[in-house]
Structure 1
Amino acid sequence: MFSIIGLILSLGLIMLLAYKGYSTIITAPIVALLTLIVTTGFDSHLMANYTEVYMSGFANFVKSYFPLFMTGALFAILMEKANYAKSISHFITEKLGKNKAILSIVLSGALLTYGGVSLFVVAFITYPIARTLFKEADIPKRLIPGCIALGSFTFTMTAAPGSPEIQNVIPMKYFGTDAFAAPLIGIIASLLMLGLGMFYLTNQAKKAKLNGEGYGNHTEKESNEISIEKLPNIFISVLPILIIFASNLFFSKIYYALVDGTYLENFNTTLSNVSGTWSVIISIVIADLFLVITNYKKIKNLK
């Protein structure tokens, strides 16, 4: 029990330091060392626990998920540089209109994160659009973070079947599943998160309107937004997302189901432990290659 409390406190401290702007790469090992001192004391094999337990776990995490982080980061950058992400966001908001400003931002973030774009990139892409929509609809600006979070940080990150986000990928290794595991539960959980989140946000907007609270007076720096006319076609913009979904489904459910994975015994693992992660990595790489091939002239500073 004491070790669990120490773990919770250490995670809280890491989050606090990250919020204050300190690098997690530096703070995480320091907090881990402090946690070991508090929970085990100086005479309980401190350095052995630090180097052989903590650092071994850290190294295994990097080994398993660095390719996913790297390919996913490339995908997010390429989607941004090709203006595909902006095209998707503008299309959704244009079709739904300012009267559905909250739903527009939520769905924009959801589609982008479900397609594999990093949720942090999505936040920066959707914010300028949300700012304009909320100002036109006279909805309090303070609700923008909640809309972005609901669309990007909730159901598409953790529950929606087939999501390539890292939070959905990590459990695969331990449960021997793929990204599409438990689809019915995932869909129900996603609908609950979306429904309850939308109920809360729309209710807050209605309360603000009744209290006479509008967008507010804010000094805002104008961003260099690309004109809507120059944005790529929406069908081309969603192709990389469809490529990831279709490829992931193919490799997860068809290709690796037919592969003989007995050779993996030589690597001390099984096909069920790695096929889910491999499927996501391969799918994102295919989408990355598609983006590079179709946009190599547009992306001037590719390296």
Structure 2
Amino acid sequence: MGLLGILIGLGLLVWLAFRGWSVLLLAPFGALVAALFAGEPVLAHWTLTFMNSAAHFFAQFFPLFLLGALFGKLMEDSGSISAIADFMMRRLGKNHAILAVVIAGALITYGGVSLFVAFFVLAPMAQELFRSAGIPRRLMPATIVLGTSTFTMSAFPGTPSIQNAIPMPFFGTTPFAAPGLGIVASAIMLGFGLWWLRRIEAAARKSGEEFGEGSPATSDDLASDEQMRERASVGREFDPAEIAHGKRAQVTPPILIAVLPLAVVILVNLSMTLLILPSLDLGFLSEARWGGISRSAVSGVWAVVTALGAAVATVVALNFRRLPTLRATMDAGANASVLPAVSVASLVGFGAVVAAMPAFVIVRDWVLGIGGGPLVSIAVATNILAALTGSASGGLTIALDALGATYLARAQETSLDPALLHRVAVIGAGTLDSLPHNGAVVTLLAVCGSTHGESYRDIVVVGIIGAILALIAVIVLGTFLGSF
């Protein structure tokens, strides 16, 4: 009965989430169903197991949600993202339309800008380039996915994405975990994705297919679509209802000023990780009032938080006169972080209750018993959970909450570098999370004026198949060569 309760609770969570129900309601409900079938104390699991785990996730990662959303909104309203997109259009133009959109998306998201903020700038850019180049509109979503939601989210060393930050407290790693393998994975995702998109573009030209028509969604449309908002808030770290709030600059900044805050994120993150934090005396963390934790449990998150904080200060200082309603912009950015953070925390609470059920031993033993060692096992676990929840961050945290300590112990037994576990787990979470119900996928299709029937196949190829190929390569190289 316990295993049946877990399956029913998970099934209700997934099914009702697809229909637009709030995860804030579904996660505790699914957890209570699992506890009820197992004969466990229902209220104790809700108020203790569920809430303690959700609160722990929120305490660890809310600063990243907050600063990431705030930075993204400031970059949007200052005109910095538009300036970068315009620069890429002028430099590469319609002859390299796909490459221009991919590079612009990669630069923006690797620099720490929230995904949904990037969507609303990249979609008009892609529309203008694709129309002038005669590339079908249906390729816009896959092109944007390749630049924003693949290698810069899960593979490229130092990315400030929340997905890359989640494994750090579990494994004591940094944002630059397994940098060589991350670069290899990034090259595979990027190369494979560009090959596919160019292949489809050539086939479309040969058949005489043109840009076509569509009706893109506006920020007001997303703000009023509650089902889309619920899905999107779980799928990524920005509440799309806040996109329309604030006011954009009338004049965009010069390209150097627009890019500088992104460079600050990268340079401060690197400096904090490799130079500053290792040189500091953090022995006080072992005291009881700080929880008796180690340096490695917090240093990775501290590096990213500091980088984003410095970038927020930089974009405000450089664009103070361009931000017509600074308070409204900052309020919108802060508000945009709350619903996604609480939604993902609720998924984590659900996972904690499931992991506390006696029947979960069966699931745990099955996952850990998968052939190929801990790398294959953690890849399968994160893939499955990200697919079911429609959230890379939610699926990744559930997997590591339940099995992270076991994976780390096995890695230590076999002299496996935890950085390798980190990189495999993050790339694994960024594959099947892009199934049709994923909030980012649904939102992007609406923003591009496309449908699943028109564009989803290409999203699968560049966002899922490319990522799986990179994941396999990292597992094989990591198994034979170790972390590098």
- Aligned CA distance change for structure 1 residues 33 and 107 (closer, same or farther; 3 Å): farther
Query: Aligned-pair distance for 1:222?
Result: 9.6
- What is aligned with 1:49? 45
Query: Aligned-pair distance for 1:167?
Result: 0.7
Which of 53, 68, 79 is matched with 2:75 structurally? Answer: 79
| 1:191-224 CA-partner distances (Å, limit 9, x unpaired) | 111111111222222222222222113356899x
- What is aligned with 1:102? 98
Which of 270, 275, 282 is matched with 2:299 structurally? Answer: 275
Between 204-213 and 164-173, the greater mean CA deviation after superposition: 204-213
Is the contact made by 1:36 and 1:50 (CA closer than 8 Å) also made in structure 2?
no
SS in 1 for 2:189: helix
Aligned length: 294
Between 26-35 and 205-214, the greater mean CA deviation after superposition: 26-35
Which of 284, 290, 295 is matched with 2:308 structurally? Answer: 284
Is the contact made by 1:178 and 1:276 (CA closer than 8 Å) also made in structure 2?
yes
Query: Aligned-pair distance for 1:51?
Result: 2.7
Between 23-32 and 101-110, the greater mean CA deviation after superposition: 23-32
- What is aligned with 2:435? none
Paired amino acid for 1:126? L
Paired amino acid for 2:313? L
Is the contact made by 1:243 and 1:283 (CA closer than 8 Å) also made in structure 2?
yes
Residue correspondence of structure 1 range 250-265 to structure 2 within 5 A: 250-265=271-286
Matched, 1:232 2:286: no
How far apart, CA to CA, are the structure 2 residues paired with 1:8 and 1:79? 43
How far apart, CA to CA, are the structure 1 residues paired with 2:143 and 2:16? 25
RMSD: 2.6
Query: Aligned-pair distance for 1:279?
Result: 0.9
How far apart, CA to CA, are the structure 2 residues paired with 1:102 and 1:233? 24
Between 26-35 and 245-254, the greater mean CA deviation after superposition: 26-35
- What is aligned with 1:226? none
SS in 2 for 1:93: helix
Which of 166, 179, 191 is matched with 2:187 structurally? Answer: 191
How far apart, CA to CA, are the structure 1 residues paired with 2:163 and 2:127? 28
How far apart, CA to CA, are the structure 1 residues paired with 2:65 and 2:137? 32
- What is aligned with 2:119? 123
How far apart, CA to CA, are the structure 1 residues paired with 2:304 and 2:117? 19
Paired amino acid for 1:283? A
- Aligned CA distance change for structure 1 residues 30 and 254 (closer, same or farther; 3 Å): same
Query: Aligned-pair distance for 1:28?
Result: 2.9
- Aligned CA distance change for structure 1 residues 44 and 9 (closer, same or farther; 3 Å): closer
Matched, 1:242 2:263: yes
| 1:224-273 CA-partner distances (Å, limit 9, x unpaired) | xxxxx943211111100111111111111111111122211122311111
Paired amino acid for 1:264? L
Paired amino acid for 1:242? A
Query: Aligned-pair distance for 1:21?
Result: 3.9
Query: Aligned-pair distance for 1:5?
Result: 10
How far apart, CA to CA, are the structure 2 residues paired with 1:4 and 1:248? 45
Amino-acid identity (%): 41
Query: Aligned-pair distance for 1:14?
Result: 5.0
Matched, 1:294 2:307: no
How far apart, CA to CA, are the structure 2 residues paired with 1:88 and 1:299? 17
- What is aligned with 2:31? 32
Is the contact made by 1:105 and 1:126 (CA closer than 8 Å) also made in structure 2?
yes
Is the contact made by 1:76 and 1:116 (CA closer than 8 Å) also made in structure 2?
yes
Paired amino acid for 2:24? I
Query: Aligned-pair distance for 1:13?
Result: 6.0
Query: Aligned-pair distance for 1:4?
Result: 11
Is the contact made by 1:163 and 1:179 (CA closer than 8 Å) also made in structure 2?
yes
